[in-house]
Copies of this chain bind each other. A is one copy, B any other.
Amino acid sequence: MKLDARVPLVTPFPTSEFHERVERMREAMRFHELDAALLTSEANVEYLSGFWTLFAWNSLSRPWYFILPLDGEPIGVIPEFGETNWRNTSWVERLIVWPSPRPEDEGISLLAKIFRGLRHRFGRIGAELGAETRIGMPVNDFLRLRAEIQPLQMVDATPTFRQVRQIKSPAEVARVAAICRIAGEAFTTLPSYFIAGESERALAQKFQANLMLQGAEKTPYVAMSSGLNGYLSGSTWPSDRSIAEGDVLMIDTGSRLGGYFCDFNRNFAVAPVSDEIRRTQAALVAAAAAGIDAARPGTTMSELFRVQLALLETLGMTCGPVGRFGHGLGKLMTEWPSIKSDDHTVLTAGMIITIEPSVVLSNGRPMLHEEDIVITPDGCRVLTQRAGPDITLLPI
């Protein structure tokens, strides 16, 4: 097979960008009274240290740690065999390693020693403990560490890193924009290799291959669903079902470039298309437009929910159980905050969010539409190639 790949330029973040992130983290840590932050997840370790590893997050055999003290040098605490890769990718010079795997003490005594040796202003160490986090170490290791460092307290650092990561720098926005372009291209070319009668899985394999050839570094999330007069779900694996006449098809992707995600879907149809599907696509696009028009510094997430809901209701649409109409986006496919009625987070310039209205059709099936935007000083910029009100037809 002839394969030809585009390799989009990913300009490395300058060290100054990491210094700015660290300064903003420390400001937030001072506010939240943390002597240090212990970071263990791909998103947070990459964000602050620049450590660029594929292995650490694909194998649970060994944990990888990054410590940012309020005063003093940041420290990587990682398995010995990762040292070369750390030195080649991170700006952080202080590195402590141990021979791993060593389940009986997988770095824990090292962490305890470091925390005990820090300057203690507040007696509090922050870790990833709160909503929408998953700690990157075994819970028993965390509990052991917590016990070993007493009377130092382990507290939740979620508010700290949320506050910092929520505002994206121009260089971060450029990466999200780049992966949105790549995925947009993959959606645009899909009708050229779609074959009526083929299975969702076959189409998904080609779509993912296409994403890779367009330059995505990863396509961890490619959801697909099809059905006569409406798909079954907005978030499931492709199945062995054949896509045929009268079907509506949804594809959603969270793909990645330079450590940053896009997250948006597109709806397609194989003729004949019912009036309800046509009207619903137009309504979803209109609701997204209402959200996009309202998105600017000072607006709240709940307000973005309200304007989308109002428009859908005006057009006679019924809402479903998804629970929100969009969310934060960046180093993860879904970040806080949520566009929901009780999330009153105020938008500020530099926030990247998805606008994602969804409804339920008369046959009970879901239909949704999603675009990605960045908040600018005087409004917002749409990072995706916006979909039109007419559903895209696939060739029979």
Q: Is the CB of B220 within 8 A of A209?
A: no
The 16 sampled A-B contact pairs (Cβ below 8 Å) are: A1-B189, A3-B209, A3-B210, A5-B205, A52-B236, A54-B237, A58-B220, A58-B334, A59-B334, A99-B323, A101-B338, A135-B139, A206-B212, A208-B212, A212-B212, A218-B220
A286 touches B (CB below 8 Å): no
Q: Is the CB of B142 within 8 A of A139?
A: yes
Chain B residues, CB < 8 A from A199: 7
Additional A-B contact list (13), CB under 8 Å, known A3-B209, A54-B236, A58-B220: A1-B210, A4-B206, A6-B205, A53-B235, A60-B133, A61-B336, A79-B323, A81-B322, A131-B138, A139-B142, A205-B213, A206-B213, A208-B209
A128 touches B (CB below 8 Å): yes
Q: Given the complex of chains A and B, what is the CA–CA distance between A369 and B192 in angstroms?
A: 40
A2 touches B (CB below 8 Å): yes
Min C-beta distance of A225 to chain B, whole Å: 9
Chain B residues, CB < 8 A from A156: 140
Q: Is the CB of A1 within 8 A of B334?
A: no
Interface residues on A, range: 35 or more
A106 touches B (CB below 8 Å): yes
Q: Is the CB of A103 within 8 A of B88?
A: no
Could you tell me which residues of chain A, from 311 to 370, have a CB within 8 Å of some CB in chain B? 320-324, 327, 332-334, 336, 338, 340
Could you tell me which residues of chain A, from 232 to 278, have a CB within 8 Å of some CB in chain B? 232-233, 235-237, 240, 254
Most buried by B among A100, A128, A139, A201: A139
A193 touches B (CB below 8 Å): yes
Q: Given the complex of chains A and B, what is the CA–CA distance between A126 and B60 in angstroms?
A: 19
